[in-house]
Structure 1
Amino acid sequence: MSRFQVKKVAVLGAGVMGAQIAAHLVNVRVPVVLFDLPAKGDGASAPSSSSKNAIVARAIDNLKKLKPAPLGDADDAALIEQANYEDDLAKLGECDLVIEAIAERMDWKLDLYRKIAPHVARHAILASNTSGLSITKLSEALPEALKPRFCGIHFFNPPRYMFLVELIDTPTTEPQVLDQLEAFVTSALGKGVVRAHDTPNFIANRVGIAGMLATLKEVEKFGLTPDVVDDLTGKKLGRASSGTFRTADVVGLDTLAHVVKTLQDNLSAETDPFYANFATPPVLARLLALGNLGQKTQAGFFKKAGRDILRFDLQANAGKGDYVPSGEKADEVYGRMLKKPAAQRLKLLRESEGAQGRFLWAILRDSFHYAAVHLATIAESARDVDLAMRWGFGMKQGPFELWQEAGWAQVATWIQQDIDAGEALASAPLPKWVFKGPVPQAGGVHTPEGSWSASQQRFVPQRRLPVHARQLFPESVLGSNAPDANQAGTTIQDEGGVRLWTLDGEVLIASIHSKMHAISPDVADALAAGVELAEREYKAMVIWSPDEMFSVGADLQAMLPAFVVAGIGAVEGAEQELQNVMLKIRYAGVPVVSAVRGMALGGGCELAIHSAKRVAAMESYIGLVEVGVGLVPGAGGLTYIARRAAENAETSTGSDLLPFLTEGFTAAAMAKVGTSALESRKLGYLLDSDVIVPNKDELLYVALQQARAMADAGWRPPMRRLFKVAGRSGAATIQGQLVNMRDGGFISAHDFHIAGLIAHVVTGGDVDAGSLVSEEYLMALERKAFCSLILHPKTQERIMGMLSTGKPLRN
């Protein structure tokens, strides 16, 4: 069977979503052509070919300015090909996937389909990015030959960062088409795919916006303020830290109103018993009338006034638009309740006499009620609902997971009692399957055999496509008994904060599980032991941990007691041991591959750069950040910068090392962090030979494949060799630039001192330019600089500030 390959994608519509979808495609190195309407001429002459793409050009230029950044590397904006519907429709024939992402107008979309249909390649998939329009109705404008290859695709905003993508078929969509598209979206784009039925707003927005409207209703009922509600409905509740009202401001109140209107226009009291709650909330209408659309207009439910954050007064008279001081927090008793186990937590909230507790129970009950009533029509199974809410709305658990964890039968009884008492938002009873049959017998909707499908009245297993084999430990739902990476495989040793284990008996896996994966002396010793074990008994070693963290670096808290008891000599000894571990990894007799995900900072960065290869998730944050605590990199980071500069200079005809040293020095001295794997590659922390993986759940699979391939190819460690340094003259040049920065007020005196020490190390110290040095020689300079700073009062202030507040102190 031929393999579906996406060599090029066309995105139709250069608006907010279309441009950002195109940006993400170039992030993952998929060629893309971005279309929009041709720009109008000035009337004096016909516009040129390039000026006719002015709408697209402006959209691409705007990508460089947006925050959060849609592009992993802003320079990659140039990789997006520009096109317009008048001159360039023939380019559609070059594309394997066409994503339509124009405004949410059915008539506009249908007109566009008629225009492009003759030009879409015979094998290509056509997908509409819409947040709620009927995919089936959209398909009716297509020729019969194209209907089987048409479906819906719903990216969440912003597309680079939001993990969820919903795929929606029509009665005429070939099943193979959705399988092909899911494989591409999963592996190439790095997304979590949920398949939704063709109902208004699909799954995540249907449940999520209904939940937001229910929250606004309950807020009004219990008389709470936006700041208190956000405090209650953020991290404390296991949801996005922005809570309810700040989330609405970030999304945009006009966007929220549009999604609400989709529900209003496409549902009715007959099709949705909660329909009465879908009226536009009066407070939202007031804000829209004032033009206060949220973050984009600097005013919504909240607005900033100087250094103060004000909140919109929900109880103000209609039309007044009053803002009052915010900052009020929820009662601490509810924060303590929300830390209790699920069953105890919900019982306490339901029995609470305070408005805040009753509000929390009400919004949870409403979410359970709504999800259960609509499960049969919106999704294949409860798993799709829970994952959609986790991935699309930042919830720690989906509604069915929380319900099941708290005790299925008891919670169901409480919900039905509230419905019967008229306290719920709708009078519709819970479906019969909630109380009778397989679900209550299994204790919930999620089981090892599968998740409950209300439409099929059975538990259905998770869909398994070939692409899913690349996900060794994918995200799973509570109750599925999916393999836990922390206990999977065969454990060889678990000591010192590092688990050494294997899945296949060929590659040893080292998983750091200390707090924030900090590298203490015990962790360093365990990693060294892992290398020795791998050299004796395995083909390779992979450093990987199953959560959103690689390592935040050296464990300062573990270092300080040794300093207090034994003085600076103990610190120097610990640093030398850590440097020796890095060299052991670099010169190991087997390839050591670092699988980086999330933060690899300070010592975590040094651990990665001393590995034979790095396999990094797209959303990785890598950098040498020691300056933030008043230190210099002390585990070989500066040595790496100097060595890489020398290696790069060898490929040049010039003899000056400084141009090759500048980027690395600046990154370390300014504590620059690559905010994507692409940016980390530009900073030199990842090499061109390293692998960037779009999907975080495929990271371990790819790292193991790379490690085995390197071993099978006859891996030999690099030879130890001397390399050239820039010497005292190079240090003097850098020092002169630092003087200008200090005197100009760009850096503090202590930053100037630290940067001077970094320059001293990376240029090789007090030696002539071009002198040959070893890694051990430079590491000795690192240790000396590191230890001198430990004794400095300003550095001690920074360290204590970081340990007490978690934030850098600039002094």
Structure 2
Amino acid sequence: MSNLIIRKVAVLGAGVMGAQIAAHLINAKVPVLLFDLPAKEGPKNAIALKAIDNLKKLSPAPFGVKDDARYVEPANYEDDIARLAECDLVIEAIAERMDWKHDLYKKVSPHLAPHAIFATNTSGLSITKLSEGFSDELKARFCGVHFFNPPRYMHLVELIPTSHTRPQIIDDLETFLTSVVGKGVVRAKDTPNFIANRVGIFSILAVMAEAAKFGLRFDEVDDLTGSRLGRAKSATFRTADVVGLDTMAHVIKTMQDNLTDDPFFPVYETPAVLAELVKQGALGQKSGAGFYKKEGKTIKVLDPKAGQYVEGGAKADELIGRILKRPAAERLKLLRESEHPQAQFLWAIFRDVFHYIGVHLESIADNARDVDLAIRWGFGWNEGPFEGWQAAGWKQIAEWVQEDIAAGKALSSAPLPSWVFESTVAEKGGVHTNEGSWSPATKTFAPRSKLAVYDKQVFRAPLVGETGIDPKTYGKTLFETDVVRAWVDDRAGEDDVVIVSFKSKMNTIGPSVLDGLVQAIELAEKDYKGVVVWQPTSLKLGTPGGPFSAGANLEEAMPAFMMGGAKGIEPFVKKFQQSMLRVKYASVPVVAAISGIALGGGCELLLQSAKRVAHIESYIGLVEVGVGLVPAGGGLKEAALRAADAAAQVGASNGDMLKFLTKSFENAAMAKVSASALEARAMGYLKPSDTIVFNVFELLDTAKKEARALTAAGYRPPLPAKGVPVAGRSAISTIKAQLVNMRDGNFISAHDFLIASRIAEAVCGGDVEAGSLVDEEWLLTLERRAFVDLLGTQKTQERIMGMLQTGKPVRN
């Protein structure tokens, strides 16, 4: 058994990808040396230093916490090359030039540690050709490791061995990338552009070709090929602008140079409009113009015939929109049979991709699963192309594609391979089954990887055609209501922790969810080792999902408000508070397993859990200000308790209490939401002892293990908080004085001033002397009273109605 420990990584090349790979490794607490050429002027590390500084300005942010940029060590090949010997993994990420890469390899290879894995982040060059000139020993440690941009957020990493790469190296690297870095790893064959770019760029080229054939505008195509098809909102042409038209042209050129025998070779010709834009320096978003151009607040779209930008806004026809909402088989049948140009276009781009993956599966991937996961994780599709084919009816779609090929309508005359019609694929209705996914080379359904790292994934990324792994029904149900399911993983040795999953919209928390949560705790206290609150929606796309919970269910509370006014809500607020105390003081540990958003009441639930396990992409905050209210489920109470603890640890006097509250007050009063789990820890929503996981698929397993560990260590709930010193009226006055300045300077409204004042009163313990001793019930009463009072105001009611109707905060 191998036990690869990556103590330090070197990234060679401080360009866009290299620097961001370094940043995400730092997120994962992996020390990094970021190399680049020595600068000709100023400090030798100026190029790497500038790249590190630029990382702090990028959006979306490469770092979970911006200040962590200081942990990336700058280096240059002249002064620091000997330090490569310190590194267990070296990732080359310089420009896509074979000759430049070879020159760099000659320079660095003598300095690599004898055990180090050497990898290239090339997006499409031959890994085998890159390894030419290496010793046999170094070839055995060399492979491709292709991150997608931006590396922090894109789930996919393609791992590309050569025939010389030692299998253990690939297994070790896959384990590291999966668990430590949090990626979805797909093993690709050493073919041009590997899997995701090969299929994804072909798909974009097919869209461009078919759009031209049917005379559709670029913005019209983007409306048709984005979220309506379950793909990235940026769709086709806007995605190209974001990626960079020069980058896209380079990837296409790789296909032109290396795929001359491909039956789809004519499709790889650079589209004339793309070539012209690159020639003019219109490279997309980074140059300010591409297929789209922003003029003031108006986004215009290129009219290639007129050669100028025109008003955008072309949309899918209403009829086509309705067709796209139909089940898969019906949808494709209607698109194929319709005479509408938008329908014909959509059928054509589906057909083209089905045709392409059918012809090329054997040459580019080991099996169909790798193609689908690569496209889902690398291009943001809800389902992979083979999944789409299978869902629509394998045999029927295959026959229609073959008919179009015979009629000369397809982009190539190459027939679909015989396995599509004659093998067990046709008998089983597609390439994905419970046995595995179709591998043309072995003529079998290849099972999932058995690497030990995947034992931590209770649910692997699901595929159309597989059954029995639905997290909403998996395991043994202990009880289930309309809004809550309590269950256990009924595998041997895994059935000792109760898992609570919400079923409400956005996993919001209303009275019935609270009832279910308390019932699950009571069950666990009788027969189990703990409770984990985990939401199966976190598995969407196999990428950061959620929500853990969008907060209290305001809609469910509206009838009580309509009947009894603001006071009619008080019983619900009190029930929420008491349920959170039940979570906090349960005799078994309650562990919150967080991914996606945890806002308002969802944040208060995790604050009062025994422990938190959070996925790196967790966005946590008390946001009630947005609807004109204050947190009233114990969130402000917890801020007061934590401030008292922090003050006691350093022996602070009563007059110094405010400084321990400032951060919590600002978080709530400004409705700050963490941009990552790492930032949530810095904001105080997660404790230093809480666990952050990088792979969303490991969240449930880790949370269960934490619950068991707490119980094994003799878990006892905290003693009820009594005699808690609070900051009192002097601190409230200090905060209000600052708020007055903000109100009078028109930075906040009068209603914002009122809400923030009520938050200050709650976290400071109310109108009492500094250092007065209070208990939890006192603090909860302050929260509840502020909540009910604000709910009775017209401006808060306007904010609530605005949010319910539009989903956006109302500023009044």
TM-score range, shorter chain: over 0.9
Give me the whole-angstrom Cα distance separating, in 1, the residues matched to 2:319 and 2:657. Answer: 61
* Residue in 1 that maps onto 2:616: 618
Give 2:81's aligned residue: 89
Question: What secondary structure is seen at the aligned counterpart in 1 of 2:305?
Answer: coil
Secondary structure of 2:536's counterpart equals coil
Instruction: Determine the structure 1 residue equivalent to 2:255.
Output: 263
Secondary structure of 1:650's partner? helix
TM-aligned CA deviation for residue 471 of structure 1: 0.5
- SS for the counterpart of 1:596 is strand
**What's the counterpart of residue 171 of structure 2?**
179
Alpha-carbon separation, structure 1, partners of 2:450 and 2:233 = 33
Does residue 1:609 correspond to 2:620, yes or no?
no
Letter paired with 1:658:
L
Check the 8 A contact 1:225/1:314 in 2, yes or no. no
Give the aligned residue type for 2:793: H
User: Contact conserved, 1:600 with 1:623, CA < 8 A, in 2?
Assistant: yes
Determine the C-alpha separation between the residues in 1 that align with 2:113 and 2:467: 43
1:664 is aligned to 2:664: yes
Unaligned runs of 5+ in 2: 538-545
Q: Which amino acid aligns with 1:254?
A: D
Q: CA deviation at 1:266?
A: 1.1
For residues 218 and 511 of structure 1, what CA distance do their matches in structure 2 show? Answer: 44
CA–CA distance in structure 2, aligned partners of residues 505 and 153 of structure 1: 37
Q: Structure 1 CA distance, aligned partners of 2:754 and 2:247?
A: 50
Shift of 1:677: 0.2
User: What displacement does 1:2 show?
Assistant: 4.1
* Map 1:212-361 → 2, pairs under 5 A: 212-268=204-260, 270=261, 272-316=262-306, 320=307, 322-361=308-347
| CA shift for structure 1 position 261 | 0.9
Partner in structure 1 of residue 690 of structure 2: 690
Instruction: Render the CA deviation track for 1:330-369: whole Å, top value 9, x for unaligned.
Output: 1111111111111001000000110001110000000100
Q: Find the counterpart in structure 1 of residue 526 from structure 2.
A: 536
- Contact map agreement 1:476 1:482 (CA 8 A) in 2: no
Q: For 2:777 and 2:318, how far apart are their aligned partners in 1?
A: 54
1:138-153 correspondence runs (5 A):
138-153=130-145
Q: Which residue of 1 aligns with 2:28?
A: 28
The Cα of 1:295 is off from its aligned counterpart by: 1.1
> Does 2:589 match 1:591?
yes
Equivalent of residue 196 in structure 2, options 204, 207, 222: 204
CA contact (8 A) 1:518 1:555 kept: yes
1:476 Cα offset (Å): 2.1
Which structure 1 segments of 5+ residues have no match? Answer: 42-46
Where 1:336 maps in the other structure, the secondary structure is: helix
Query: What is the aligned counterpart of 2:402 among 405, 410, 416?
Result: 416
For residue 537 of structure 1, report the CA deviation from its aligned partner. 1.5
- SS of the equivalent of 2:478 reads strand
Q: Is the 8 A contact 1:496 1:526 kept in 2?
A: no
Aligned to 2:738: 737
Please give the alpha-carbon distance, in whole angstroms, between the structure 1 residues aligned to 2:234 and 2:26: 29
Residue 348 of structure 2, aligned match among 352, 356, 362:
362
Q: List aligned pairs for 1:541-690, cutoff 5 A.
A: 541-547=531-537, 548-655=546-653, 656-690=656-690
Equivalent-residue separation in structure 2 for 1:705 and 1:726 (angstroms): 38
* Secondary structure, aligned partner of 2:615: strand
Q: Are 1:494 and 2:480 an aligned pair?
A: yes
CA distance in 2, matches of 1:797, 1:254: 48
Q: Is it true that 1:483 corresponds to 2:483 in the alignment?
A: no
- Structure 1 stretches (4+) deviating beyond 4 angstroms? none
Residue in 1 that maps onto 2:751: 750
Amino acid at match of 1:495: T
1:728 has 2:729 as partner: yes
Stretch of structure 1 that moved more, 336-345 or 1-10? 1-10
Answer yes or no: is 1:442 the counterpart of 2:428.
yes
Distance 2:2 2:221 in 1: 53
Does residue 39 (structure 1) correspond to residue 31 (structure 2)? The answer is: no
Q: Deviations over 1:347-395 (max 9, x none)?
A: 0000011000111000000010011110010000000000001000110
Q: Which residue of 1 aligns with 2:778?
A: 777
Quick one: which of 356, 359, 374 aligns to 1:388? 374
Percent identity, aligned pairs only, is 61
Per mean C-alpha deviation after superposition, the further-off stretch among 130-139 and 642-651 is 642-651
For residue 551 of structure 1, what is the amino acid of its counterpart?
S
- 2:91 equivalent to 1:99: yes
Query: Are the structure 2 counterparts of residues 604 and 394 from structure 1 closer, same or farther at C-alpha, using a change threshold of 3 Å?
Result: same
Offset at residue 68 of structure 1 (A): 0.3
| Contact 1:496/1:523, CA 8 A, preserved across alignment | no
Q: 1: distance between equivalents of 2:121 and 2:569?
A: 56
State the alpha-carbon separation in 2 of the partners of residues 745 and 261 from structure 1: 55
Conserved? CA contact 1:117–1:143, under 8 Å:
no
In 1: Cα distance, 2:138 partner to 2:279 partner: 43
How far 1:455 moved relative to its partner?
2.0
Quick check: 2:127–2:162 contact (8 Å CA) kept in 1? yes
Q: 1:523-575, CA deviations, whole angstroms, 9 ceiling, x for partnerless residues? A: 01111111111111111110001112200000010111111012323201100
- In the TM superposition, residue 91 of structure 1 has moved relative to its aligned partner by 1.2
Q: Which moved more, 1:162-171 or 1:476-485?
A: 476-485
Say yes or no: does 1:63 pair with 2:55: yes
Query: In the alignment, residue 681 of structure 1 is paired with which amino acid?
Result: R
CA distance in 2, matches of 1:314, 1:362: 22
Note the alpha carbon deviations across 1:773-804, whole angstroms, 9 max, x for none.
11111111111111111111111111111111
Instruction: For residue 171 of structure 2, give the secondary structure of its aligned residue in structure 1.
Output: helix
> C-alpha distance in 1, partners of 2:615/2:146?
23
* Alpha-carbon distance in 2 for matches of 1:618, 1:278: 38
Q: Give SS of 1:452's match.
A: strand
The amino acid across from 1:225 in the alignment is R
- Give the conservation status (yes or no) of the 8 Å contact 1:540–1:590: yes
Amino acid at match of 2:408: G
2:444 alignment partner in structure 1:
458
Q: Equivalents in 2 of 1:297, 1:804: separation in Å?
A: 38
Paired residue type of 1:144: D
Pairwise CA distance, 1:720: 1.2
Once the 2 structures are TM-superposed, how far is the Cα of residue 616 of structure 1 from its aligned partner?
0.2
2:126 is the counterpart of 1:134: yes
How far is 1:139 from its partner?
0.7
State the shift of 1:480 in Å. 2.3
Report the residue type matching 2:275 in the other structure.
Answer: A
2:359 aligns with 373
Give the Å deviation of 1:715: 0.1
Q: Which residue of 1 aligns with 2:760?
A: 759
Tell me how far 1:171 sits from its aligned partner: 1.1
TM-score, normalization by structure 2: 0.97
Preserved CA contact (<8 Å) 2:468 2:474: no
Q: Is the 8 A contact 1:342 1:406 kept in 2?
A: yes
